[in-house]
Structure 1
Amino acid sequence: MIDAVVGVPVDQWADLVDDRLRRILGALTGGSPELDGPVEAVIDRIYARLRPVDGSPVEWWTYAREVAPGLLMVLALDHPDRVAILNDEQVRRHGYEQLVQAGLDNLCGQLPETYATNNGVYILSGGDYVGSAVLVMPWVVEAVTGVPELPYGVLVAMPTHGTLVFHVLHDGAGAQYAMGEIARIAASYHAADSGPGPLSPNVYWWRPGAGFLEPVAYYDSDANGVIGEDVVTQYSADFADVLAELHSIS
C-alpha cells in the first residue's frame, strides 16, 4: 500500500487506499470484465502461473493443480498494472484445456533476452512470468542452451516470480556444484524480495514426464548439510539413483 500514497497529501490517502484494496480484491477473485466475453479477446493475455498455496484463496481455484509441494499452477489474465487469477467459473466457461494450452504457449514469450551463467548454472531474471517458465522447462532449456534432450532432468529454482535458475544434469561434479550454487542463489533472491513476488527458496529436480517438481535441497546458514555446510539435501531414492549414475560417468 505504501507506493499508492507516496508523495500524495495525507487527506487523499483514504481514497487511494480504498481504490488499491478494490483492485487487489478484484485480482484475487478474478474480477475481469473481459472474461465475460469471447475467449478470443483475451487468449493472448492468459498465462499459466505459479502461486504459493499459503495465503491463497484456493477454494476459488479448485482447478489449480499442485506442481510442487505448496505451489499451484493457476491461470492468470495479465493486465498492465496487475495479474488477475481466473476462478473456477471463468475456467469452466472458457474451457480448462484451451486456457492451459494458451497459458503455456504464452509463457514461451516471456524469457529475458539476456541471462547470467557460471559453470553451467543459468540465472534468468526479468518480467513477472519468468519464474513460471519452469512449467515449460524443456522449451526454456533448448532456447537458452540449445540442448534438446534432458535424460537426467534439470535442477531448477524459482525463488521469485521474476527469476528462474537452472542447471542441466549431465555429470556428478556439475550436479554437486550446481545444487549448492542454486540453493544459495535461490535463498538470496527469495529473501531479497519483500513484495508479492517470492515463490520458493528450494532447489527442485525436474525430470521428463514427471509432471511434478521434487524438492531436493535448500540453503540454511546454520545447517550441516552434505553439499557444503550451508546446504541441506533431502531427496527420493529415484534422485539418489540419478546422482549415483551421474557420478559414475563424471
Structure 2
Amino acid sequence: MNENNTFGTPDAAFAPDRDLPMLTTAQATRLRALAAPYAQEGRTYSLYNLAQKCRQAPEERWPELVEAHFAALAEGSQGGESAAELLRGVHARLLPTDSLTPETAGAMRYARVVAEGLVFAYALDMPTSVRMLTDSDVERAGIEELGQAAYANLMSVPVEHDEVHIGGRALLHSLYGDSPFVASKALFLSEAARQVTGESLPDAGALVVVPNRNLLAYHPIADGSVVDAVNGLASYALGAHEDGPGGLSPRVYWWHRGSLTSLTVIDHDTRSFSLQPPPELLDRMKGLVRLDDAGRLDTAAVAKAPDVAALTHDTAEAIGGLAANPAGLGDAFASALTLAHARCTADPQAGNIETWDAWATAVQLGSALFTGAQAQECHLGEDIVRQLPATPAAPPADARAWLDAFYVAVACRQQARADRLCQVPLDVLRQDDSVDAYVLHWIDTLQTYWTERPMDDVVAKLLATMETSQPQSLTHTPKDFADLVDYQPVALFHRLLTRDHDAFAEALTEAVAHHGTYWGESAAPRARVALGALAMASLAYDYGFPVALPQPYLPTYLLNRERIEEMPG
C-alpha cells in the first residue's frame, strides 16, 4: 500500500501557481489578465474550471476560451431567483478545495469540507451555465428544503455505467456522463450503486475515485481483490484527473457509512503520492486477503470450473516439496482442501475413491499442520502417492485453517485427529489478527465441547460466539459471509446441544439454502460443499439424529460414513 507515484519534478521556472496549480505561475498571471476585463463590481468568479480548459488548449486560443466562458456566465443567472426556482434547479456538488478563493469561500460559509481535497456545496443548474449558491441563496430557500431538493435532483442525473476489470480480478464500476454533477453522486454512493447495479454496497463500503466532475469509479470492498483495486484505482484516477477538464481529485477515497476518507497522501513538495489506508480499513483488507488467498472466500465472478487434474498435480507437488521446505505445509493443506471440494463438482455425493483420497489427504495435512504427524503416505487417486514426512507440532496462528482442519477431521470421522486438534492452545490461534472475535469464540466453544468440559462452560462460550457475530461487531469478515456461511455451523451446533431433532433438521435445511444463496452460480471449489454444516451434520448423524439424505452441498457418502476408510496416522 506504500506505492509511490510522481507527478513530475517541478522546475523553478515552471512552478505551479498557488491557486491554479494546473498552470504555471506565468500562465496563471496571463489568464488573470485576460479575465480582468470581464470582472463585474461586487461579484467574484472562480477561474479554476476555466484554467483547466485553458491547460488543454494552445495559449493562442485562450482569449476566445475566456470570452466564451464569461459569455456563458452572463447568459446564466445573476442571482435573485425565487425559492421555488432555487429548489427546482439545485444540486449537491463536489468541488476541489483549491477552487475556492478566499472571496468565494467568504460568500459560501455553508459549504463544508467532506474529505481531504473535496468540498460539498450547492449549485444551481441552468441551461447554459452552473452557478454556485451563496449564503443568501441558501437562506432564501431554507437549508433543510434545499438539502432535500439537492439530493433528489442529483440522484436523478442520468449516468452511463460500465464494468472494468483490472489486475486480473478486481472489478470497477465506472459511472460517467455529460452532466457536471456525475462525480458528486459519490456523496451518496450507496444509493448511486443501487441505481446502476441493483445491489447495495457491502458493509465494508467501497473504494471510490472522483477524478473529474463527469466521472466516478468505485470498487465494492467484498473480497481480497481489494488489493488489486486500490492500486488500479490510483492509476485510473491520476490519469483521468490529468486529462480533465473539470478535474476534482486524483485521490483514492474509502466510502464507508456515508463518509469519505482519503487513502492518498500527497507530498506537494516532491509532487508525489502514496497510498496509506487508515487502520480500520487495513484491518478489514487483511481479513479479506487471508480469506481469499486460502480459497475460503471467492466471488461469484469465478466463472470457470476448476481443473481437477491441475489441482491434483499442484497438491502432489506441494506435498513432495515438504521434505525440503516444511514451511510449505500450510499451502499444501489449502491446496488439498481445494482439491477435495473440487472433486465434489463431478462427484457431489463423494462416492468415488479419488474423491475420498482427496478428502483423506486434506485430513492428514490439516492435522499435521497443527499437531504434527509421523511419516505417512498421502494418496491422490490415479496411483499418485506422495510421502508426508514426519512433522513436528508447530501450530500456526491461523484460526480459519484450524476450523477447516477440524471440520474435515469430523466429517471424515477421524476422532483421534480431532482430539489432538482440540489440544492446540487457543492462545496461539488468538495471535491471528485477521479474524473477528466470533471466530475465536467459536473455536473455544468447539474445543470446550470436544474435550468434555462442563456444559455450562460450553453454553457460555457458545453465547459469546453468537453475541460477537452480530453485524456491529464485525471488522474483518464481510457481513454476508458471516451470516450465510460462518454462522450456520454455530446455529446447527446450538440445535445439536438441545438434542432437538426437528429444530436441527430445519436449521440444516436453512444452512444449505444459505450456502447456495451466498455462492450462487460460482464455480469456485468452496461452492461445492458446505463444510461447516457437513461437520455438524456428521456429528448429528452419529448421535442418531434422523438426517435426511441426499441434501445439496452435503456429500452423502461422507455424511452416512459409507465412503469412510482407514487412513494412516
Q: TM-score range by the shorter chain?
A: 0.7 to 0.9
Letter in 2 for 1:208: R
Give the direction of change, closer, same or farther, for the CA distance of 1:231–1:116 in structure 2 (3 Å limit): farther
Q: 2:282 is matched with which residue?
A: 240
Q: Higher strand share goes to which structure?
A: 1
Quick one: distance in 2 between partners of 1:249 and 1:185?
27
Q: Higher helix share goes to which structure?
A: 2
Quick one: distance in 2 between partners of 1:231 and 1:89?
39
Quick one: distance in 2 between partners of 1:24 and 1:71?
24
% same residue: 29
Cα offset, 1:149, TM superposition: 4.4
Give the direction of change, closer, same or farther, for the CA distance of 1:25–1:112 in structure 2 (3 Å limit): same
Q: 1:151 is matched with which residue?
A: 203
Please tell me the root mean square deviation across aligned C-alpha atoms, in Å: 3.0
Q: 1:183–1:202: 8 Å Cα contact kept in structure 2?
A: yes
**Structure ID, larger Rg:** 2
Q: 1:46–1:76: 8 Å Cα contact kept in structure 2?
A: yes
Q: 2:161–2:173: 8 Å Cα contact kept in structure 1?
A: no
Q: 2:95 is matched with which residue?
A: 51
Residue from 232, 237, 250 that aligns with 1:201: 250
Residue from 86, 109, 112 that aligns with 2:159: 112
Residue from 165, 184, 190 that aligns with 2:241: 190
Q: 1:150–1:208: 8 Å Cα contact kept in structure 2?
A: no
Quick one: distance in 1 between partners of 2:160 and 2:183?
15
Quick one: distance in 2 between partners of 1:44 and 1:20?
24
Q: Which runs of 5+ in 1 are unaligned?
A: 4-12, 224-229
- Deviation string 1:163-213 (CA, Å, 9 cap, x unpaired) is 0010000012x10111111111111110011x3x0000011000014x3x1
Quick one: distance in 2 between partners of 1:175 and 1:19?
43
Quick one: distance in 2 between partners of 1:141 and 1:77?
24
Give the direction of change, closer, same or farther, for the CA distance of 1:111–1:232 in structure 2 (3 Å limit): farther
Quick one: distance in 1 between partners of 2:257 and 2:116?
18
Q: 1:9 is matched with which residue?
A: none
Bigger RCO (CA 8 Å, 6+ sep): 1
Quick one: distance in 1 between partners of 2:182 and 2:273?
25
Q: 2:84–2:141: 8 Å Cα contact kept in structure 1?
A: no
Letter in 1 for 2:200: P
Q: 1:226 is matched with which residue?
A: none
Give the direction of change, closer, same or farther, for the CA distance of 1:26–1:72 in structure 2 (3 Å limit): farther
Q: Secondary structure at the match of 1:121?
A: strand
* Structure 1 length-normalised TM: 0.78
Q: 2:124–2:133: 8 Å Cα contact kept in structure 1?
A: yes
Q: Which runs of 5+ in 2 are unaligned?
A: 1-49, 54-62, 293-569
Letter in 1 for 2:212: T
> Are 2:110 and 1:63 equivalent residues in the alignment?
yes
Q: Secondary structure at the match of 1:183?
A: helix
Q: 2:78 is matched with which residue?
A: 31
Quick one: distance in 2 between partners of 1:233 and 1:149?
22
Q: 2:96–2:117: 8 Å Cα contact kept in structure 1?
A: yes
Give the direction of change, closer, same or farther, for the CA distance of 1:244–1:200 in structure 2 (3 Å limit): same
Q: 1:184–1:219: 8 Å Cα contact kept in structure 2?
A: no
Q: 2:368 is matched with which residue?
A: none
Give the direction of change, closer, same or farther, for the CA distance of 1:25–1:183 in structure 2 (3 Å limit): farther
Q: 2:204–2:222: 8 Å Cα contact kept in structure 1?
A: yes
Quick one: distance in 2 between partners of 1:25 and 1:67?
30
Give the direction of change, closer, same or farther, for the CA distance of 1:20–1:140 in structure 2 (3 Å limit): closer
Cα offset, 1:231, TM superposition: 7.4
Q: 2:202–2:220: 8 Å Cα contact kept in structure 1?
A: yes
Residue from 231, 244, 254 that aligns with 1:180: 231
Pairing of 1:115-134 with structure 2 (within 5 A): 115-118=162-165, 119-126=170-177, 127-134=179-186
Cα offset, 1:233, TM superposition: 1.2
Letter in 2 for 1:141: A
Give the direction of change, closer, same or farther, for the CA distance of 1:26–1:52 in structure 2 (3 Å limit): farther
- Deviation string 1:191-241 (CA, Å, 9 cap, x unpaired) is 011x3x0000011000014x3x11114799xx9xxxxxx972123211212
